[in-house]
Amino acid sequence: MGKHIRCARCRFARPDHNASTRKWTANECGNRDSEYYRALLNITLGGGMLPVITWTGCAWGEPLVGGGVL
């Protein structure tokens, strides 16, 4: 287990094309070790669609190469 990495800076955050719409790209966790695996990372508790990933992340995350942000 590594140090805490925010989802927006994690290499496992990826687009979920099945949940996306024409105007919004859903992002999900692709890390099988994470408690957030397959969870949508840019939605609110009420189901609202957010333009960016706001989740705080977990200890299983790994930083993006180059430090980019989704």
- 1: confidence class by pLDDT, cuts 50, 70, 90: low
Element (H, E) at 13: strand 13-16
pTM: 0.83
Contact 30, 13 (CB under 8 A): yes
Q: How do residues 21-70 score in pLDDT, each as one tens digit?
A: 999 999 999 999 999 999 999 999 999 999 999 999 999 999 998 755 55
* Amino acid type, 69: V
Which pLDDT belongs to residue 36? 93
Q: How do residues 28-42 score in pLDDT, each as one tens digit?
A: 999 999 999 999 999
Long-range contacts of 31-35 (CB under 8 A, 24+ apart): 31/60, 31/61, 31/62, 33/60, 34/58, 34/60, 34/61, 35/60
